[in-house]
Amino acid sequence: MLNDNNRDDMKKSVFMIDPSIAKTNQQESTIHENYSENYGLSALGIRASSVRRNLSPTVLIEKAIRNGEGILTDTGALAVTTGKFTGRSPHDKYIVDTDGVHDVINWGEVNRPIGRDVFNAIKEEMIAFLGGHEVYVFDGFAGADPKYRRKFRVINELPSQNLFIRDLLVRPTAEELHRFGEPDYTLLVAPGYKVNAKRYGINSEAAIMIDYEAHFAIIAGSQYSGEIKKTVFSIMNYAMPVEEDVLPMHCSCNMDSKTGDTAVFFGLSGTGKTTLSADPDRELIGDDEHGWSGEGIFNFEGGCYAKCIDLEESKEPEIYRAIHFGSVLENVVTDEDHVPDYSDRSLTENTRVGYPIEFIPNASSNGRGGIPKVVLFLTADAFGVLPPISKLTRNAAIYHFVTGFTAKLAGTERGVKEPQPTFSTLFGEPFMPLRAEDYAEMFGQRLDEYGTRVYLVNTGWSGGPFGTGSRIKLAYTRAMVTAALNGDLEKSEFVHDDRFNLEIPVSIPDVPAEIMIPRNTWDDPNAYDEQADKLAKMFTDNFAKKYPDMPKEILEAGPALR
C-alpha cells in the first residue's frame, strides 16, 4: 500500500514528462503522421485531430485528468463517474439482422434485431462526431490462448475508457503490437454522441450494436465502460462456438498451483464469481469470461472488473489491494482527500473497478488452465429456500446451466433498486447470441467426455427470504467451495430433495450442520414449503416457456411440482 510520501510523489509524477513518456510522445507524433495507413481510421472516415495508440497508463491517466474525466484517489487509482448510465442498458442493445446470421441468432427480447441501414447511419454520425477530436486506439486480444484468440481494435473518444479496455483485454507484447495488422473486430466507442432515438426508432440516446458479419460494433451515448467489456464478450460468444468449437462461459476460473486442477465458477454479477475465485491458495485464471476448448480453459480477458460496494480489505484483500495506480474506479464516491468510500451508494450500488489481472498476486501468468475437475453454479437465492450447496447429476447440471437462476442485485442494471429473482440463460443471457440448446449441447458433451463434477452453490439467503432471513456467511461458502474442490464433499452423506431434485450433503467441515438443510433453518416449516413450492413453479414455468425443445431427460432433472 502507498504511504503519504510516495502518494504525493506519484500524483506529481503524473504531470511530469520523464524519458519514457517523452519517448511515447515521440512515437505518438509518428502515429499521427501515418495513422491512416497504420490504423485504417481514415478509411472509416474518422478525421481526428490526433490519434493515440496503445498509450501507457501514465499518459492515459494524465490525459483523462486534464480532460476533467476523473481524479486520482489516495491509492493512485483513477476514479471516474459515468453520468446517467451507471450500469448496463440491456434495452439499448441490438444485433444487425443479416442473411449470414439470421438463422443462428436467438432473436427475442435479449437479442433485438436492427437493420444494417440504421446501424450504418448511427455509425456514420459517430464518425462525424469524432471529427476534430483526439482519438484513442487500443489494439489487443480477446483470448489468452493464441490458438483461439481474436484481435480487437477499440477506438475511444475518452482516454479513461481507453485505459479501462487496456486493463481488461489481453495486452500485446511490443512484437505482437508491431505485427498486429488488421483487427478481427473493431469497436467504435463515443459516449459523447447521443443518438436521436426518435429518428432511428430505438429506445434511447444510447446504442450498443453489433454487426457480426461486418465484424464491427458501436457503443454510443453511454459512458459505462462495462458496455465495452460485454460487447467483446458477446462477440466471442458468437465466434468461439460457430468458428472454433469452443464453449464460451460467463464464469471465473482458478486452479491449484501444485496439481493444476482447474475449477469453474458460473454466476451472474453479485453472486460471488470474482470473490470466490480470488482465493489466495489458488491461482486465478480469470474472473469473468472464459472458453473451454479440447485443451482446457482459457481466459478471454487480461483483467478483472470487480464490484466495489461495501468492499473491505479484511473480506476481499486481493481486490482491495488491486485498486492502485493503473486501476479505474467507476462511480465510487471519494472525500475531499480523495479517499474512496466503498459504502457510499449515492451514485449507484453498481460501483466497479477495472484492473489488469496481474494486480492480483496469485494470477496465472498465461491465463490458461486444464480441463476443469469441478464446476460450481453460484446463485443468490432471494427466496431463501435452496440449500447452501448441492451435488448435480449430469442432466441436472445441464438444466441449471441453461436456467441460470439467481437474484438480480440492485444497481447491476438500470431501474433495479432491490434484489429480484431472475432466470438468466447460461448465467449470462444478455451476452449469448445463439440458442441455449446450442451452448447446452456443448456443455453436456464436455461433462460426458471429462467426468467433471458439478455443484449448485447458494450464496444468497438462509432462514427466510430477503428481508427476513440472513445472507449466508462468506466464510461458510468458502468452506463449502473448498470441500467441493478438494474432494471432501464427496465423502459426505447426501439426502435427496424431491422438490428441487438435488443431492444435499448433511455435513461439511467448518460449516454448521444446521444450515445444510434449508427447511430446518426456517422458524415456520410450512412457510418454507409455501415459498419453496413457489420457487419450484417459477423454475418449471420458466423452463417450459424458454426451452420447449430441450430433451425430456433434462426437463425431468429439474425441480418438480408437488
Residue 492: other Cβ atoms inside 10 A: 18
Among 7, 53, 63, 88, the one annotated catalytic: 88
Residue type, 192: G
Establish whether 499 is a catalytic residue.
no
What is the spatial distance between Cα 462 and Cα 108, in angstroms, rounded to a whole number?
Answer: 35
Q: Phi, psi (5° rounding) for residue 475?
A: -60, -40
DSSP letters of 450-508?
H--EEEEEE-SEESSSTTTSEEPPHHHHHHHHHHHHHSGGGGS-EEEETTTTEEEES-B
Tell me the pairing of strands 372-379 and 453-458. Answer: parallel
Largest CA distance in the chain: 74
Q: Phi, psi (5° rounding) for residue 264?
A: -120, 135
What is the spatial distance between Cα 177 and Cα 179, in angstroms, rounded to a whole number?
Answer: 5
CB 275 within 8 A of CB 481: no
The string over 153-168, giving b where at least 16 C-beta atoms fall within 10 Å of a residue's C-beta and e elsewhere, is bbbbbbbbbbbbbbbb
Establish whether 273 is a catalytic residue.
yes
- For residue 107, the cross-strand partners are 111
Establish whether 315 is a catalytic residue.
no
CB 284 within 8 A of CB 324: no
Residue 537: other Cβ atoms inside 10 A: 13
What is the spatial distance between Cα 428 and Cα 323, in angstroms, rounded to a whole number?
Answer: 26
Helix axes 226-239, 159-168, angle to 10 degrees: 40
CB 450 within 8 A of CB 371: yes
SS3 call for 526? helix
- Provide the phi-psi class of 451: left if phi over 0, else alpha when psi is between -120 and 50, else beta: left
What is the spatial distance between Cα 355 and Cα 558, in angstroms, rounded to a whole number?
Answer: 38
What is the spatial distance between Cα 203 and Cα 183, in angstroms, rounded to a whole number?
Answer: 30
Establish whether 250 is a catalytic residue.
yes
Establish whether 211 is a catalytic residue.
no
User: Over the Cα atoms of the chain, what is R_g?
Assistant: 23
Among 171, 250, 368, 400, the one annotated catalytic: 250
The 3-class secondary structure across 210-265, one letter per residue, is: EECCCCEEEEECCCCCHHHHHHHHHHHHHHHHHHHCCEEEEEEEEECCCCCCEEEE
Cell match 488488421: residue?
182
Sign of the alpha-carbon dihedral angle for 337, 340, 344, 347 = positive
How many residues would you count in the chain? 562
CB 77 within 8 A of CB 327: yes
Establish whether 149 is a catalytic residue.
no
Among 93, 230, 307, 400, the one annotated catalytic: 230
CB 207 within 8 A of CB 188: no
CB 102 within 8 A of CB 213: no
- Indicate which residues carry an active-site annotation: 88, 230, 250, 269, 273-274, 288, 352
